[in-house]
Amino acid sequence: MDGKTILVTGGAKRVGAAICRRLHAAGANLVIHYHQSAPAARALQVELNTARPNSVMLIQADLLDCTSFPSIISTTVNHYGRLDALVNNASSFFATPIGSINEDNWLDLIGTNLKAPLFLAQAAAPELRRQRGCIINISDIHAQRPMKNYVVYSIAKAGLDGLTKSLARELGPEVRVNAIAPGPILWPEDAAQIDEVSRQRVISHTILKQAGNPDDIALAVYYLIANAPFMTGQVINVDGGRSVKL
């Protein structure tokens, strides 16, 4: 990946940070987008730039505001001279049980998980075509197996899977578009109410009987960018076998 430039949305923390570290270690220059995680983003930038100077740039943006997307892409290209891959990782996640759903919930969850990936891909498409690059969308196994009480989130991720396949048709043959659907990798940041018994119940539904870790997703992202030239329009489950276990 030496000399390649990769834009990662929501790259400051958790799975996003693991993706950034993996791609950076492989030689890529990174543009790390963040919204409200400025301290984490700056710390990650310092860490990676210390390892390889001038290899990481930060961009702050609210992905619910699509008007900023052309500027994000142009800033990336102006700084590094190219854009080779877009990783749509940023995501809102919260419960929306029937009876409590309002329009703000819809706009937030659909906006971050589906609308932003579409309009970022559209803004990035000309440069990705020039570089014969790729797009990686971070989906969720709950796109196909909806999670109870998470109606809008599950809808949004199902839409992201559809968007992945549609963009693969629209942007091929120059641009490959794939998605990764994580299973039990990290518990939500506000998951203090999920006790150990509940966590073990989730893990018991995997074939491998264990939770994954963020680098499992990062490795899959690396594979799709660096080692999968004949793959497009695919959704890869990284879930310990959860998606095939009844």
What residues act catalytically?
153
**Single-letter amino acid code for the residue at 120:** L
- Residues 162 and 180: beta-carbon distance below 8 Å: no
108 is written with which tokens? 């937030």
Closest CA to 144 of 173, 167, 165: 165
What are the CB-based long-range contacts (under 8 Å, 24+) for 142-145?
143/181, 143/235, 144/181, 144/243, 145/243
Report phi then psi at 202, rounded to 5.
-60, -45
- Residues 205 and 145: beta-carbon distance below 8 Å: no
Q: Which residues contact 27 (CB under 8 A, 6 or more apart)?
A: 1, 2, 3, 4
